[in-house]
Amino acid sequence: MGIDDPAVVETALDVGYRHLDTAQIYENEAVVGDGLATSSLDREDVVLATKLWIDDLAPERVEASTRESLDRLDVESVDLLYVHRPRGEYDPEGTMQAVASVHEQGLTEHVAVSNFTPEQFETAQAHCDAPLVANQVEFHPLFQQQELLDHAREHDYTIVAYSPLAGGEVFDIPAVQAVAEKHETSEAAVALAWVLSYDNVVTIPKASSRAHLAANLAAADLDLDSGDVERIESIDREMELFPE
């Protein structure tokens, strides 16, 4: 979201990122595709994901819309195709059957959803012949979504956490500050490490400079102990940046 320079994508891949996440509504699929094309990496070395926006979720539009995304990305298929939100033209039965058809045709290796509640996820899966492998949702120290974490474990899918730094709010959270001081690191690193402390969660932090890209990647190596995790879990404040 917000990236308009293919060089940023190329830099991210050079630093070590192997997952590129975009969406139709971000209007940067072509930028991501250009960055991937100019990278020295082979296509199969990168997980490429995009999302169908709510205006293109009518069953008769899903395949055409997917192909339009592939054209902008300049690829034959993506690794992961999301239904971006259960809104607009979304029809659980029709949309998910159309998504399963796109998967069957080989236009995407995997299918997933984004911003779905546990109940919405189950309904979507009931109408989709292909397994839903992920649910991309807002998840950070100020919006922890424990019910969804438990549901993902129970149904064996991955949570893909966006906005892991809570829009910059993590820098001002006393619990996060304390853990950062203890480990002599940044609040951003602590927030990312906390998100990644859950065995069924991965994250997609946003960054554009080489320094921030490298720092975010390095946060995966920060080991928080159980006390650190519990301290952040006990934060008595909730803030959802992107309410449904």
pLDDT digits (tens, 9 = 90+) for 206-242: 888 999 999 999 999 999 999 999 999 999 999 999 9
CA distances from 79 to 25, 44, 74, 108, 116 (A): 18, 9, 13, 5, 20
pLDDT digits (tens, 9 = 90+) for 46-96: 999 999 999 999 999 999 999 999 999 999 999 999 999 999 999 999 999
Q: What pLDDT was estimated at residue 58?
A: 98
Contact indicator for 65, 24 with CB cutoff of 8 Å = yes
Q: What pLDDT was estimated at residue 65?
A: 98
pLDDT digits (tens, 9 = 90+) for 122-152: 999 999 999 999 999 999 999 999 999 999 9
Q: What pLDDT was estimated at residue 4?
A: 85
86 alpha-carbon distance from chain centroid? 16
Token digits of residue 244: 């449904």
According to DSSP, residue 174 is labeled: H
154 alpha-carbon distance from chain centroid? 20
Distance CA 20, CA 6 (A): 12
Write down the mean pLDDT value for the chain: 96
- pLDDT higher than 60, residue 162: yes
pLDDT, average across residues 32-42: 96
What homologous superfamily does CATH list for 6-138? Answer: NADP-dependent oxidoreductase domain (3.20.20.100)
Q: What pLDDT was estimated at residue 3?
A: 81
Which amino acids are annotated catalytic?
26
Q: What pLDDT was estimated at residue 1?
A: 54
Residue 186 burial (CB count, 10 A): 17
pLDDT digits (tens, 9 = 90+) for 99-122: 999 999 999 999 999 999 999 999
According to DSSP, residue 171 is labeled: G
Q: In what order do the strands lie in the sheet with 201-203?
A: 19-21, 47-52, 78-83, 108-114, 132-138, 158-162, 201-203
Contact indicator for 125, 99 with CB cutoff of 8 Å = no
Distance CA 148, CA 102 (A): 27
Q: What pLDDT was estimated at residue 63?
A: 98
pLDDT, average across residues 18-43: 96
